Amino acid sequence: MTAVSLIALAAFGSVLCIIEIPKMLKAGLRKELIVFLLLLAAGTALAVMKLFSIGIPNPTDFLVWVYSPVSGIMKWLSKSQ
């Protein structure tokens, strides 16, 4: 399963690059190219991490931590009395 997923991931990335990068170079969209490559690299890295079960930092954990000062109010809100 891991191998299939890796192949699918590689195929997605390379096909996207082959189709999009020449277009962007021709149109002179340099900033788009940089953002595109950064996002694609980030996405591929996340996918590989997920495939090999390396813990990905969870944004919801972070947000629960950010809002921990108001957790008392939220607990009060979700109590019936």
Partner 1 sequence: MEKKYISGHQLFTLFALSSLGGSVIVASSPMAAVAKQDAWLGALVSAAYGMCVILMFYFIGSRHPGLTLIGILRQVLGKWLGTLFAVCYVLFFLLLSTNLPWYIMDFMGHVMHETPQYAISLPLVLGFAIAVLYGIEVIARASEILIKFVTFIFLASILMVLPNIKPDNLLPVLEGGIVPVLKSSVFLSVYVTFPMVSFLMIFPVNMEDVFGAKKPLLKGFLWSNSVAFISILISLLVLGSGIVSKTKYPTFLLLKEINLLDIFTRIEYFISVLWIITEFVVGALFFYSGAAGLSELLKLKDGNKIVLPLALIVFIMSGVVFPSDVFNMNWLRLGWMPLSITMGLILPLLVLAVYGGKKAVWLIWGK
Determine the Cα–Cα distance for residues 34 and 13; give it in Å rounded to an integer. Answer: 15
Rg (C-alpha) for the chain, rounded Å, is 20
Residue 53, phi-psi category: left (phi > 0), alpha (psi -120 to 50), beta (remainder): left
Q: Identify which of residues 3 and 79 has a Cβ nearer to partner 1 in the complex.
A: 79
Cβ(73)–Cβ(46) under 8 Å? no
Exactly one of 7, 14, 32, 54 binds partner 1 (CB under 8 A); that residue is 32
Exactly one of 14, 44, 52, 53 binds partner 1 (CB under 8 A); that residue is 44
- Where along the sequence are the contacts to partner 1 (CB under 8 A)? 12, 16, 20, 24, 27, 29, 31-33, 35-36, 39-40, 42-44, 46-47, 50, 56, 58-60, 63-64, 67-68, 70-71, 74-75, 77-81
